Every structure is written in C-alpha cells, then in structure tokens.
C-alpha cells in the first residue's frame, strides 16, 4: 500500500488553551511538574562544601566599606556554608573562596554559583574587580565562570566582597522603609557544569513561546510557533543527546525564518540604571557602579557585538577614583565603540526644581569631564527616570551640545497617555531637540518578544519613523544586562514574527531617525509627568538646602569675580587673592549631586538624606566663608581686614543687577545706626539705592530716619481686625492670621480679596496616595481637608516705623503647630509670612491658600530662566491632571490689568484653581523614609499685588529680591574698588533682560581676563537692552553653556555699551575678554 504524503495525524488536535498550559509547564521555573520540564536540566553535577569549595571570611566592623588592600590584610576565619548568617543590614563581609575541581568535572566547563540574597563583587587575588553578583530570584546574577575546560585537581582562588543589602536596599515592606537588622545566609556556593545544549534549546523555546503567545496570536507565525513548541516537547528526553539534537533542529529551523524588509527596526542598547542614592546611600552606589560595570565589561568580552551605555558623570568620577583599573578598561571599550558614554549631565537630575543655572552646571560639569577623560562630548541627553521635564530643557541641551533626548518616564502618567513617541520636543524659547520615548515603556527591558512587539503596537509615530530604541538590562539598583538578555537578543535580531532588533549605539539610533524620517510631530513646552506630584514638597529641608545653595554660590561667583578683577586692577601690589576655581567647582558638584532624581525630589531613604543634608551644609558653610573672603578683599584690598571689621560704616553688597533699597536687620554691637527700631539684638536700618552688582558703603550718620507718618504701622481697628499699612499697601487680618482684605494704594481695584473668602487659610489635607508614598499626592486629596483656625492668638509684635509685624500661632494637632510673623516694611510692596512649624504628622499635607478677585484662565509659574503658563481650571483631563504643579520662586495670577504673585523662598509645589492660589508647605509620607519631614521647619512666603498683567509687572524682580537678600559687612574702612563704579555690569533697562551668573570662565585659569555672563529674557518677549560695564572690555563673544569659543562677536556702541537683542526666554552666555 502506498504511504500517504502528508501522513494522517492519528492523534486529536489539541485545543489552544490546553496546549498553552502544557507549554507553560514545560518551561516553568518551578511548580509540580518542574522535574519533567526543561529548566531542571540547565545545570548538572552540583557540588559544594569541603573539599571542593572552601570558604573563609572577614567581617568588616562598624558598617565600614573598606578597600581590597585593607580587606586582604585582615585575618580570614574558615567557615562552613551554613554555619551562620551575615549582617546586619549595610555591613560588609569579605569571603575568600578556594576551589578544587572534582574529578567528575574534569574536561568540562565549570561555573561557580553564589547566592547570598544580596549583592557582591568578585575580586581576583591580585585585586582586579571581575564582576558583580546578585542573589535572590529577582534580577539574579549568580554565575561566575571558572573555566571552559577544567583539568584534573585544578585550583581556583578569588574573593567576594559581600554587601548586606539587596539590589533594592534592605526594605521589607511596600513603603520600602529599610530594616536595619537584616541578616543574610549563603544559600548557594556551588560548582556546576552548564548543560550548554539544553540551555541553547531553552533560550530558543522562550523566544518561540513569546512569538506564540505575546504577539498577534491569530497570525500564521504565532500558530506555527505553538505547533513547533508542542512538537519539541514530544521529542524531548532530557538525558538523550540525540533527542536534544532533534529538538534543536526543530527550534533552529523555526527561528531561521527571517523578517521582511519593511519590518520595524529596533536598536537594542544594554544599560543599567543606577540610582545615585535611593534605597541606599551614595557610598553603596560607588560599589554598585563597580559591581554593575565590571559585569558589563565581562559581557563585552564574551559577546562580540554587545553594546552598553552608561550615564551620570559623577559615577564615572567615582569609578576613576576608586576602581582605576575598571575605569581604564571602560576608556578602551569606549574607543572600540562597545561602551557609549551618554547623558552629559553630572547626575540624572530632577529637572523640575533645579534653577536655570543648575541645569547649565549639570551639563557644564558633565560634558567637560567627558571631554577630558574620553576626548569627546555626548550628543544624547539621557534622563529615563526623572519626574517630568522642564520646558526650558531643550534650550539648555542645545547649548550644551545635545541634539537628542531620551526618556520613558511619561509612560507612568496615571491620567492621560502621552501622545507621542518620536517627536521634536520644543522648549519655551522654541529650541527643538529630537526626542524619543521608548515604546517599550521601560528603561529596564528584559529583551522579550512581548517587549519587541510592544515597540510596534505602542509606537505613536510609526508612520513617521519605523524605529525604536530598546533600553535593556536590570536596573534602578544597577546590575545591567545578564547573559540571558544577550542570549534572547541573539535570537531576535532577524526572526519572522518579530521586529528586527539589533545591538547598537543610541547615537546611531537617533541619526537613523534623522536620516530616515520625512517629518515628525512637535510638542511644545514642559513634559509634565502626571504622577509623583508630591515630590515638589517632600523632604522640605532638601528643597530649602537646594535653594539656599543656589543663591549663595551665585553670590560667591559674582563676588569672587569682582574681587579677582579688583586685584587685576591693582597689579602693582602683590595680591593674595585668587579666584577659588577648585572650591567653586567642588561645591557645584555637591549641589548637582544632591539634585539627583531621588534626592532633591525627596524619594530616598533617611540614610541617603544624612549625606544630602551634610553636603548642603558643607556648601552653605563654605560659600559663606568664600563670600566673606571676597567681600574682605573688595572692601579692604591688600590692606588686610584686621582691626577694620567693626566700625561705623556699613557696606551693603547687592548681587542682583539692579539698584535696590531695602530694610536690613543689623546685629547690634554697641553701634547705633539710626536708633529707630530694634528686634532682639538687631537693629533695623534703611539702605537706599545700592547699585546693582556693586557695593555701597554708608557711614552711620548717613543712615536715614523714617518719619513716623512715612513709616509702616500695625494697629487694631475698633472692629477688632488687625491692620498692616504703609504708603503702598494695606492688609487687614483676623485674629486667626487670615487675610480678610488687601488694598493696593496705587490702584483703584479696591479690596483684592473677594467678598466671602479669605487669604492665608492654612489647610491640612489627608494625603494618602495609591502606592508611592513619598512621591505621590493624589487627585482625591483635594476633597478631604480641614482648615486650621482654632486659635485666635494674633497680636501686634512690631509697630514700625521700619517694619510692622503681626504674630500668631495655630495648633495643627496635639504635637504640631505653626507660628507666623506677618510683616510689612516701610518700603515694602509685599506682605511677608515668615513661618516656623513643628511638624509631627502622618499622611497630612499642609498648604496655605489665598483667594483673589481676579478672573482669568491661566496662572504663570516661575521656572528656569523663564515662566510657564498653566490653566487654572479643570476643563479637560489634561488640565485637571495638573492639580499640583512645580513652580520656583513665584506663581502669579493676573487678569489683563492687575495681578497678585505668591512668592516663596524654598518651596516648589503650587496649585491654582480659578481665584484660589495655594502654596504647598509640608508633607508627611512614611516611606521610604519613615521620618521624612518630622521636626522643625522654617520658610517664608509673600503676597505681591501689582498693577498690570504679569508681563508688565515687576514680579520676576521682586521674587529674586525676596530670595537674594542684600548682604552686609560692618567696617570703618573702604579701599573702594573702582571696578564697582557704579556697577560691575548692568543692563538698561533692567528687569526684563536679567544677568544671572557672573563668573570667571572655566579656561581663565585665574588670569582674571575672561568673564562669563549668563543672561536671560525673563518674560517671554523679544527684548532689547544695553549692557554696560565698568571694566575695560576687549571683546564679547556670544558663547554657549559649555563656554565654547565662537566667532560671533558683539560690537560696541558709540558710547561703549553693547546692544543685546534677546528672543523670548533666550539664554545668552557671553564670554568677555578683558584688556
């Protein structure tokens, strides 16, 4: 009888669901049928303990992290694998591992497996870090390859530096609060032989399984994949090499079918996201970098086309300092194109809260380092995990050598899906960078068929650009790709049923997009993250530290520049003053480090904040010292300042670019200035017309007195309300500290507080997010709050004529209270609320609310070198999703003719809805830092009513003055640098084009010849101004944030000034060469 071809299948066809269960069981990592599946065959011949694996240990005392050299000098005690546990959390234990190959492993590859449920680093006996190890089941990396071919009685020795923390620290609950007493056991210290052919089959099956079930299940490819999987299970006999060969033939044949020419193209880049501090402190990060990057160097050697990228220049600098061998190896691989330097910023910083200058310095520090150590800058800005992206970033990036931007964080939006994948991100000034948000929605991709498929289904712009970037590897706690990722990638480069996915550099991905796309959509303004809105407020001390440091270092740079230039003009004398380049650089590095995206936003553990606060204190203390030194030199020159510090003159330093008058509070040292008004040990004095970027010296007899009828007053009305009043404004308060009425005497607007409402309403909201405690305040918190108004304690505490003040206190709970001094000065056009809070709450959110008689449909917020308008209504879900937003020094609510700005000196969270304007003051999340924000807080805010809309107002200027106080020195002498006469730099008209930073150029090398000015247009309109200086200017180049030399020169006007034309929100860096 002739055989039928094709033959008759004599078994029934298997229903889909049953077939899927069979396949899942076969590939499962555990479960009741594990012993019949493929996974139990991946490793064979397991051996541990004496005589093959001998362990000895040195327990490092006091949670110290010591060097290899220190460690190997210690006495190691022999230990059995299960003898005891190791801890507590954050402690370090150095193991020496001595191995003798068992007879049965001779002529085989041998792998050492180590699992302590924690992180470790393998060191050679001569002190070379070889690779990282990660225990546990999640993101595991447990294999260290000893040899591909063991010989008889072969011996191996190495060290493991075991850290008693997991990849994600030592948190043990959802809140991620660290457990200080975790102990770890050695679960595995085994020798095994890898069963390479079964491993190969296993990886094949994983890909085929993905095609079968994670792509379009109705496609012919998916259905064939199911058939092949089932057939392989039918053929599989674990100890029979012929059966395994048959299976491999089936799987290889299936995977050999390649995809078509029009297939989606994915560039796969290996990466490990290492949070610079988060659920662990900075010091652990330094070791995470070594563990992660040594593992990647090892994989680069083992997989010939593997490409890896790492950002965060601070991490490179740590590595260079602590692990120079690894650093050199990275430099070599970078040259070979296998290691891509990326990002360009000092750390992956938050971009909501750092100032404009901070954003510039992140790039200046980062790119300069890359240039110095790798001979090049990066063109790609890399910020996959930060919590939203400032609308001023595109311009900062363009001026820092970055044309491309990568992130994915907007996929975390919990209200609206972000509509674009590959697009022109357009800043508030219209600068554009090419942006890509990986459609895989993760920077820790696992290289699975489902992720590749998602790159096509979730790509919003595939009709414009048929490409995506897959950023893969274990991350957040570091790690990076493991061999399994690379095995999967190897099989998916070109296989029918999946997009093409090839290893490559990120820069090449972007260049491909550029070369192969006809058009792309554009997206204007900030990339607001609809999530993590609590991070503008959590860990208030970090926010305060950040603002203080930014303000002080600016003073230091300007005054040091001035002192250095003063010295240049006095070259006849031997000067002791030099520009503190090194110190300033070091302080900026600390400021930038603390702006990391889990530090400044407040989402780290308490242990991380010990360092963060320490660094901020260091910056503040050293900045004050440097400022004083510069001021001394400016005041006393070479004459020295001994004996001259007391006296009857007061020197006022104005580091803002316009003339200022203000009330200054001077410490009393038996000196009587105008003898008019005192508070405690301080006397209030009025200082008038201090020129911008200058110093003015006032002899005591020149300090004016304020006539009582010209001064400010505090008084109680017959009706019981309290009034603060000067010649500009009048505010009326009730005894609870709430603002009842506000009048601007230069306007006919009448009472600015709408009838029936109030201002300075202190509100306490219940603040229970859905999961991420320190990060999130949720939309429903707005529905549940109480007003703090039980105490009617307000009293007059100062009654002018220079400063009038009302003081009150409200209890927040039995443990917490707030006390405020509400004040107005005789010159003041704003009312200040100086607050002290004792805060011991749990899941409560403190805010203050003001209501204004203003009808508009947007509010204006201060951001970096510009402002942003956001809606003040909930029309669409895009609007309501912005129920809490980030603003820097002010938020303004104006109609066409009038407005009020709410200023602050260290806060970042605002909420404006219709007529009400709220400033977020304090939160009280309990994880990952269970003590976040507990204790004493001090902060200030102010209300500034103004004629005209925001654009015609002085709000920017007022907010800067509110944040940058005049500084003073008492003296009886003044050498009087002529450089200051009247101003070092000024722009006419002042206030719209603003000079922010004044510093010596990076390449000035203390010559005092090259000065950098950072200037910006603050209101969003084309503006013209004239720059003048008291210095002898040779040339002015239009440079950029990296201070590059250009041929673009400004020419001087006839009268010596330089005309500047700025476009809206333009950042202009001028490089000034002095004669």
Please report how close the Cβ of residue 1000 comes to Zn ion at its closest, in angstroms. 34
Q: Are 484 and 203 in contact (CB under 8 A)?
A: yes
Stretch that binds Zn ion, among 385-393, 634-642, 867-875, 877-885 (CB under 5 A): 385-393
Residues within window 1019-1038 making contact with Zn ion, judged by CB under 5 A: none
Q: Are 887 and 862 in contact (CB under 8 A)?
A: yes
Stretch that binds Zn ion, among 132-140, 377-385, 489-497, 864-872 (CB under 5 A): 377-385
Please report how close the Cβ of residue 422 comes to Zn ion at its closest, in angstroms. 23
DSSP 8-state symbol, 311 = -
Q: Are strands 308-310 and 265-271 parallel, antiparallel or unpaired?
A: parallel
Stretch that binds Zn ion, among 381-389, 564-572, 626-634, 775-783 (CB under 5 A): 381-389
The span from the CA of 41 to the CA of 63, in Å, is: 40
The 768-797 contact track toward Zn ion, x by CB under 5 A, reads ------------------------------
Q: Are strands 188-194 and 43-48 parallel, antiparallel or unpaired?
A: antiparallel
Please report how close the Cβ of residue 343 comes to Zn ion at its closest, in angstroms. 13
3-state secondary structure of 346: coil
Q: Report the Cα 903 to chain-centroid distance in Å.
A: 24
Q: Are 162 and 116 in contact (CB under 8 A)?
A: yes
Stretch that binds Zn ion, among 195-203, 379-387, 641-649, 750-758 (CB under 5 A): 379-387
**Beta carbon nearer to Zn ion, 567 or 597:** 597
Residues within window 805-834 making contact with Zn ion, judged by CB under 5 A: none
Please name which of 732, 737, 712 lies closest in space to residue 722, comparing C-alpha atoms.
732
Work out whether 204 is an interface residue with Zn ion (CB under 5 A): no
Residues within window 835-854 making contact with Zn ion, judged by CB under 5 A: none
**Beta carbon nearer to Zn ion, 291 or 459:** 291
Backbone angles phi, psi at 367, to 5 degrees: -65, -35
Which element (helix H / strand E) includes 824?
strand 817-825
Q: Is the peptide bond before 982 cis (omega within 30 degrees of 0)?
A: yes
Please report how close the Cβ of residue 266 comes to Zn ion at its closest, in angstroms. 23
Please report how close the Cβ of residue 274 comes to Zn ion at its closest, in angstroms. 8
Please name which of 377, 294, 313, 309 lies closest in space to residue 340, comparing C-alpha atoms.
309
Size of interface with Zn ion, in residues (CB under 5 A): 2
Which element (helix H / strand E) includes 241?
helix 241-256
Rg of the Cα trace of the chain? Answer: 33
The span from the CA of 749 to the CA of 604, in Å, is: 47
Those residues with Cβ within 8 angstroms of residue 175's Cβ, 6 or more apart along the chain or in another chain: 773, 926, 927, 928, 930
Work out whether 385 is an interface residue with Zn ion (CB under 5 A): yes
The span from the CA of 869 to the CA of 194, in Å, is: 61
Please report how close the Cβ of residue 613 comes to Zn ion at its closest, in angstroms. 20
What is the token pair recorded at 34?
A: 């594990």
Q: Are 908 and 390 in contact (CB under 8 A)?
A: no
Please report how close the Cβ of residue 275 comes to Zn ion at its closest, in angstroms. 4
**Beta carbon nearer to Zn ion, 226 or 269:** 269
Burial class (CB in 10 A: 0-12, 13-18, 19+), 168: middle
Q: What share of the chain is helix, strand, coil (3-state, %, to 5)?
A: 25, 30, 40
Which element (helix H / strand E) includes 71?
helix 68-72
Stretch that binds Zn ion, among 185-193, 380-388, 439-447, 974-982 (CB under 5 A): 380-388
**Beta carbon nearer to Zn ion, 357 or 385:** 385
**Beta carbon nearer to Zn ion, 603 or 1028:** 603
Q: Report the Cα 456 to chain-centroid distance in Å.
A: 30
The span from the CA of 877 to the CA of 677, in Å, is: 53
**Beta carbon nearer to Zn ion, 347 or 393:** 347
In the complex, residue closest to Zn ion by CB: 385
**Beta carbon nearer to Zn ion, 298 or 385:** 385
The span from the CA of 365 to the CA of 589, in Å, is: 8
DSSP 8-state symbol, 828 = -
**Beta carbon nearer to Zn ion, 275 or 550:** 275
Please tell me the number of Cα atoms within 13 Å of 66 on its side-chain side.
19
**Beta carbon nearer to Zn ion, 168 or 374:** 168
Work out whether 350 is an interface residue with Zn ion (CB under 5 A): no
Please name which of 104, 109, 47, 110 lies closest in space to residue 81, comparing C-alpha atoms.
47
Q: Where are the alpha helices (DSSP H) in 349-448?
A: 356-374, 393-398
Please report how close the Cβ of residue 475 comes to Zn ion at its closest, in angstroms. 8
Please report how close the Cβ of residue 117 comes to Zn ion at its closest, in angstroms. 23
Q: Are 654 and 696 in contact (CB under 8 A)?
A: yes
The span from the CA of 535 to the CA of 595, in Å, is: 12
Please report how close the Cβ of residue 120 comes to Zn ion at its closest, in angstroms. 22
- Exposure b/e, 734-759, CB count within 10 A at least 16 = b: bbbbbbbbbbbeeeebeebbeeebbb
**Beta carbon nearer to Zn ion, 275 or 611:** 275
The 257-276 contact track toward Zn ion, x by CB under 5 A, reads ------------------x-
Catalytic one of 115, 385, 461, 744: 385
Helices 356-374 & 540-568 angle (0-180, nearest 10): 70
Give the position of tokens 């009685």.
Answer: 153
Residues within window 885-904 making contact with Zn ion, judged by CB under 5 A: none
Please report how close the Cβ of residue 384 comes to Zn ion at its closest, in angstroms. 8
Residues within window 275-314 making contact with Zn ion, judged by CB under 5 A: 275
What is the token pair recorded at 113?
A: 């497996």
Please report how close the Cβ of residue 386 comes to Zn ion at its closest, in angstroms. 8
**Beta carbon nearer to Zn ion, 210 or 601:** 601
Please report how close the Cβ of residue 405 comes to Zn ion at its closest, in angstroms. 17
**Beta carbon nearer to Zn ion, 276 or 333:** 276
**Beta carbon nearer to Zn ion, 412 or 424:** 412
Neighbours of 999 (CB within 10 A): 23
Start-to-end CA span in the chain (Å): 107
The span from the CA of 574 to the CA of 768, in Å, is: 64
The 310-339 contact track toward Zn ion, x by CB under 5 A, reads ------------------------------
Query: 385 an active-site residue?
Result: yes
Question: Could you list the active site residues?
Answer: 385
Interface positions with Zn ion (CB under 5 A): 275, 385
């Amino acid at each position: 009888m002739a055989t039928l071809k094709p033959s008759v299948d004599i078994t029934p066809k298997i229903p889909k669901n049953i077939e899927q269960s069979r396949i899942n069981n076969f590939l499962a990592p555990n479960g009741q049928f594990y012993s019949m599946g493929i996974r139990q065959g991946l490793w064979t011949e397991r051996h541990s303990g004496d005589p093959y694996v001998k362990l000895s240990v040195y327990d490092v005392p006091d949670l110290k992290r010591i060097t290899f050299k220190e460690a190997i000098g210690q006495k190691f005690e022999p230990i059995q694998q299960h003898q005891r546990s190791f801890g507590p959390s954050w402690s370090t234990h150095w193991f020496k591992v001595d191995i003798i190959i068992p007879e049965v492993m001779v002529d085989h590859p041998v792998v050492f497996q180590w699992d302590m449920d924690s992180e470790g680093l393998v060191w050679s006996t001569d002190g070379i870090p070889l690779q990282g190890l990660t225990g546990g089941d999640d993101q595991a990396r447990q294999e260290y390859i000893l040899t591909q071919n063991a010989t008889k009685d072969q011996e191996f020795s190495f060290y493991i530096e075991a850290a008693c923390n997991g990849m994600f620290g030592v948190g043990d609950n959802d809140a991620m609060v660290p457990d200080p007493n975790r102990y770890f056991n050695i679960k595995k210290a085994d020798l095994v032989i890898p069963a390479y052919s079964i491993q190969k089959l296993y990886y094949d099956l994983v890909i085929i399984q993905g095609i079968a079930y994670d792509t379009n299940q109705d496609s012919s490819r998916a259905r064939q994949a199911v058939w092949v999987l089932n057939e392989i299970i039918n053929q599989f006999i674990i100890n029979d090499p012929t059966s395994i060969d048959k299976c491999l033939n089936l799987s290889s044949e299936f995977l050999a079918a390649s995809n078509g020419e029009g297939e989606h193209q994915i560039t796969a880049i290996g990466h490990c996201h290492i949070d610079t501090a988060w659920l662990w402190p900075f010091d652990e990060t330094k070791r995470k970098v070594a563990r992660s990057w040594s593992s990647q160097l090892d994989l680069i050697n083992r997989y010939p086309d593997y490409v890896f990228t790492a950002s965060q220049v601070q991490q490179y600098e740590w590595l260079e300092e602590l692990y120079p061998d690894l650093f050199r190896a990275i430099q070599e691989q970078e040259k070979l194109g296998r290691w891509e330097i990326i990002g360009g910023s000092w750390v992956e910083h938050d971009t909501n809260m750092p100032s404009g200058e901070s954003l510039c310095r992140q790039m200046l520090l980062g790119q300069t380092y890359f240039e110095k150590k790798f001979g090049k800058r990066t063109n790609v800005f890399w910020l996959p995990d930060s919590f939203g992206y400032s609308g001023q970033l595109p311009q900062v990036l363009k001026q820092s050598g970055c044309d491309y931007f990568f992130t994915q964080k907007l996929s975390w939006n919990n209200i609206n899906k972000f509509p674009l994948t590959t697009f022109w991100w357009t800043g508030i000034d219209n600068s554009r960078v090419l942006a890509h948000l990986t459609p895989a929605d993760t920077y820790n991709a696992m290289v699975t068929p489902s992720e590749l498929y998602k790159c096509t289904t979730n790509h919003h712009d595939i009709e414009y650009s048929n490409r995506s970037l897959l950023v893969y590897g274990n991350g957040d706690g570091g790690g990076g790709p493991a061999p399994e990722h690379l095995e999967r990638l190897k099989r998916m480069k070109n296989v029918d049923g999946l997009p093409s996915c090839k290893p490559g550099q990120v820069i090449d991905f972007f260049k491909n997009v550029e070369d192969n796309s006809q058009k792309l959509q554009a997206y204007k303004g900030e990339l607001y993250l609809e999530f993590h809105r609590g991070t503008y407020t959590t860990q208030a001390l970090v926010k305060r530290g950040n603002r203080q440091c930014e303000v002080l270092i600016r003073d230091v740079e300007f005054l040091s520049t001035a002192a250095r230039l003063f010295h240049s003009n006095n070259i006849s004398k031997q000067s002791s003053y030099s520009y503190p380049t090194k110190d300033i650089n070091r302080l900026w590095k600390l400021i930038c480090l603390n702006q990391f995206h889990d530090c400044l936003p407040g989402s780290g553990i308490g242990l991380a904040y010990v360092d963060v606060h320490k660094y901020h204190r260091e910056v503040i203390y050293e900045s004050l010292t440097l400022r004083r030194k510069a001021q001394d030199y400016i005041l006393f020159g070479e004459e020295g300042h001994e004996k001259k510090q007391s006296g009857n003159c007061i020197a006022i330093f104005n580091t803002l670019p316009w003339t200022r008058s203000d009330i200054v509070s001077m410490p009393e040292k038996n000196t009587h200035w105008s003898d008019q008004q005192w508070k405690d040990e301080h006397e209030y004095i009025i200082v008038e017309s201090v020129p911008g970027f200058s110093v003015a010296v006032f002899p005591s007899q020149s300090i004016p007195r304020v006539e009582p009828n010209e001064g400010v007053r505090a008084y109680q009305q017959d009706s019981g309300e309290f009034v603060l009043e000067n010649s500009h404004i009048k505010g009326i308060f009730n005894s609870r500290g709430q603002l009842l009425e506000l009048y601007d005497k230069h306007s006919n607007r009448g009472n600015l507080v709408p009838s029936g409402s109030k201002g300075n309403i202190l509100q306490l909201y219940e603040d229970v997010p859905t999961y991420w405690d320190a990060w999130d305040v949720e939309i429903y918190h707005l529905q549940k709050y109480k007003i703090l108004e039980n105490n009617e304690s307000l009293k007059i505490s100062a009654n002018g004529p220079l400063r009038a003040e009302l003081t009150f206190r409200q209890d927040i709970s039995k443990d917490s209270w707030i006390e405020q001094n509400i004040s107005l000065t005789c010159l003041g056009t704003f009312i200040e609320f100086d607050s002290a809070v004792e805060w011991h709450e749990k899941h409560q959110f403190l805010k203050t609310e003001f209501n204004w008689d203003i009808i508009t449909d947007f509010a204006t917020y201060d951001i970096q070198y510009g402002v942003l308008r956001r809606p003040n209504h909930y029309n669409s879900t895009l609007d309501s999703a912005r129920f809490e937003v980030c603003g820097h020094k002010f938020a303004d609510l104006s109609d066409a003719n009038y407005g009020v700005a709410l200023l602050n000196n260290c806060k970042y969270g605002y909420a404006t809805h219709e007529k009400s304007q709220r400033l977020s003051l304090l939160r009280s999340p309990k994880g990952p830092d269970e003590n976040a924000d507990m204790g004493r807080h001090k902060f200030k805010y102010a209300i500034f009513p103004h004629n005209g809309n925001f654009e015609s107002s002085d709000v920017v200027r007022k907010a800067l003055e509110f944040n940058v106080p005049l500084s003073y020195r008492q003296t009886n002498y003044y050498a009087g640098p002529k450089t200051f006469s009247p101003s070092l730099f000024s722009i006419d008209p002042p206030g719209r084009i603003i000079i922010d930073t004044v510093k010596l150029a990076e390449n000035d090398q203390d010559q005092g010849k090259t000065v950098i000015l950072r200037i910006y247009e603050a209101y969003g309109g084309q503006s013209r101004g004239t720059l003048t200086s008291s210095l002898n200017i040779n040339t002015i180049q239009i440079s950029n944030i990296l201070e590059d030399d250009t041929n673009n020169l400004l020419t001087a006007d006839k009268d010596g000034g330089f005309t500047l034309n700025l476009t809206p929100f333009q950042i202009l860096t001028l490089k000034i060469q002095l004669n």
